[in-house]
Copies of this chain bind each other. A is one copy, B any other.
Amino acid sequence: MKVRAAVLEQFARPLVVQELDLADPAPGEVLIRLVACGVCHTDMYTASGVDPSGYAPTVLGHEGAGVVESVGEGVGSVAQGDHVVTLFSPQCRECIHCLSPRTNLCLAIREQQNLGFLPDGSTRLSRDGEPIRHFMGTSVFAEHAVIPEIALAKVSPEAPLDRACLFACGLSTGLGAAMFTAQVKDGATCVVFGAGMVGLGAVAGCRLQGAERIICVDRSQARLELARGQGASDCWPADGHVVERVLSETAGFGADYTFEATGLVSVMGEAVESARMGWGLCTVCGVAGRGETLDVVPRLLITGRRVCGSSFGGVKGRDQVPELVERYLQGDIDVNPFISHRMPLEDINRAFELMEAQDGIRSVLELGA
């Protein structure tokens, strides 16, 4: 079939919306009609050419939601008409990681996905007979996509897909960092560095876990107001004095849980230093620049601070994205404030410009009827 899609033709150049060929789903794959797709930093990062593992041409986009149109041979977990959220972090339910409660990093299709292929090592996308590679196993800046069954979370049809799409990446990443990776305890003091999509999700996650005090730190007053709406009890400017202030307001101890959601290694350092002596846990969510390191004074570790990272919030996608969407439907998570712009696929480059300008939290592409 023919699909309109936004193609990264060359790094650091605008994406080009055009018509491509999309082949039928192979066994274990599913054809999705996309309805909505969030535009995430990772898309822009790859488009910039800075990501050393990036490639072009490819169809970007990985924060998608849509409706199943048809399924390939052997697909049993979703059927035509189901509402689904795409999972760049799949869940095969069979590999040693999926069988362990300790990690969500499914191993099933990792290698082929990283190379831009579907699990069988080929692509469904092509142009004039030349294969076009997929991106993060999803490629949802498009009207349709063929996606492995294990990379789709079936969600309640009651959830509007233009909001459910945020659970495909940013929102789940933040929520999960607090709920699944750090497993914030009731009554805890938390500090969230960064009030973008991930940081705001982490604020909401801390609230859902019953944290008593949730401090959110950002440069932008507007974003801090959004953080307050998600449950932050304290909103502080990122003024370079955050560590001192956390220590002085916690009797010198630091916070039980800290979250870094900026991708800046200097902020990761602040998050480590703000974590509590004895048991403070710093969870790194942001993706740092190439070659950058988080430099930790070992004394901070010896005196009880711990450092971990979170990928897709530790969320096991097929099991837990539907649960998170359910909590949204129950009113536990306020998704609307995250959507700052809506636009058609054709305006994808404007979405990147808005992101570069830090204008708003999320642009959502409206892809279908």
Q: Known interface pairs A268-B298, A284-B301. Does A105 touch B277 (Cβ–Cβ under 8 Å)? A: yes
- Residue A100, interface by CB 8 Å: yes
Pairwise interchain contact A311-B307, C-beta atoms closer than 8 A? no
A100→B280 CA distance, assembly (Å) = 13
Pairwise interchain contact A294-B296, C-beta atoms closer than 8 A? yes
Stretch of A125-133, A218-226, A285-293 lying at the B interface: A285-293
Task: Kindly identify, within residues 265 to 283 of chain A, every residue whose CB is under 8 Å from any CB belonging to chain B.
Answer: 265, 268, 277-279
Pairwise interchain contact A293-B295, C-beta atoms closer than 8 A? yes
Pairwise interchain contact B295-A294, C-beta atoms closer than 8 A? yes
A279→B105 CA distance, assembly (Å) = 10
A279→B311 CA distance, assembly (Å) = 12
- Residue A309, interface by CB 8 Å: yes
> A304: which of B103, B286, B294 is its contact (CB, 8 Å)?
B103
Pairwise interchain contact B293-A297, C-beta atoms closer than 8 A? yes
Pairwise interchain contact B309-A278, C-beta atoms closer than 8 A? no
Name the residue in A100, A288, A307 with the highest tally of chain B Cβ atoms < 10 Å from its Cβ: A307
Please give the distance in Å from A254's CB to the nearest CB on chain B: 12
- Cβ contacts under 8 Å, A303 to chain B: 105, 309, 311
Q: Known interface pairs A277-B105, A278-B103. Does A302 touch B311 (Cβ–Cβ under 8 Å)? A: yes
- Cβ contacts under 8 Å, A296 to chain B: 293-296, 307
Given contacts A284-B301, A307-B308, list 9 more A-B pairs with CB under 8 A.
A284-B298, A284-B302, A288-B299, A293-B295, A294-B295, A298-B309, A302-B311, A304-B311, A306-B307
